[in-house]
Amino acid sequence: MRRAGSGVAPISVRNYPGDHPVLRGRGTPAHPLEVAGSASYVRFRGLVFAGATGYRTTNIYVSGSADHIEFSNCVSRDSEGQGLFSDRGTSSIRVIGCYFHDNGGGEAPNHGHNLYLEGSRHVIANNVIAGAKRGFGIQLYPASDRVVIASNTIVANREDGLLIGSEGSEATTNAIVVNNILAFNGRYGLSTYWGGAVGTGNYAINNLAWANRSGGLSVRGVSVLGAKTGNPHFVDRRKRNFRLKADSAARDKALASLSPGSDYRGLRRPQGPGDDIGAFERPR
């Protein structure tokens, strides 16, 4: 996709109602989707991106100076590299209500992540991000600015649920990580790696960390406010049913001012006294 729509007339590429088309790449490396160059104001909805193959590959590649690109109700799975990768020149990518799982299973020692983000003004909200095979749920590194990561359920990734970092003089700045469940990941729920300059203006607010193998939040250069702990009590974690049980520590605990108006399934928030942390609002 290299074409540009506009704010009042965006280009939409979506599934026919009831269908779930699967897009796969051909060759090695192969990206099922590349949004390239000066593409802007494009929306992708209800699509499955699967099985990218090859070194440094990705199911979804947002490249160049592409801006105002939206993915909603999509699935990205089984890439040997990343589930989604965005270049540092990109801006205003929105990933809303999507399921990223089992990406990053390529050949060792290379790391692959469910989402690997560079660029600015991105919003990652209401997603389920699970099971990165050889990496992180989300890697925000090394050059990004003003990225909001809100109300996601980030679970059972091989390494950290979310890593924020830098390399040389480039650094992640002004990130807001809020109202996320970070649970059962192989290392930390949230960590930092400053390979160069330490990022500034980064905040982790009101996130629930639980049963991550090395600990909950291991951060430097990030201001932590209202950190929470407690069992999220998923309906069936082994079957990847990450909806909340009645006794979940995430219920009614979200910071409402930074919580989306509906959840992963489109259910209105709140359903009780307060919004729930994570991608799912529990019905009352």
CATH number at residue 171: 2.160.20.10
Has residue 209 been placed in a domain?
Answer: yes
Closest C-alpha among 205, 196, 136 to residue 171: 196
What is the domain range of residue 213?
11-231
* Pair of tokens at residue 33: 């989707």
> Does residue 183 have a pLDDT over 80?
yes
Has residue 112 been placed in a domain?
Answer: yes
The whole-angstrom separation of Cα 188 and Cα 158 is 10
Has residue 236 been placed in a domain?
Answer: no
Has residue 5 been placed in a domain?
Answer: no
Has residue 255 been placed in a domain?
Answer: no
Share of the chain above pLDDT 90, in %: 93
Has residue 259 been placed in a domain?
Answer: no
User: How confident is the model over 33-62, as pLDDT tens digits?
Assistant: 999 989 999 999 999 999 999 878 999 999
Has residue 248 been placed in a domain?
Answer: no
Closest C-alpha among 202, 204, 216 to residue 249: 216
User: How confident is the model over 68-121, as pLDDT tens digits?
Assistant: 999 999 999 999 999 999 999 999 999 999 999 999 988 766 789 999 999 999
User: How confident is the model over 164-177, as pLDDT tens digits?
Assistant: 999 999 999 999 99
How many domains does one find in the chain? 1
Burial (CB count within 10 angstroms: exposed 0-12, middle 13-18, buried 19+), residue 30: middle
Has residue 165 been placed in a domain?
Answer: yes
pTM beyond cutoff 0.95: yes
Q: What confidence tier does 243 reach under pLDDT thresholds 50, 70, 90? A: very high
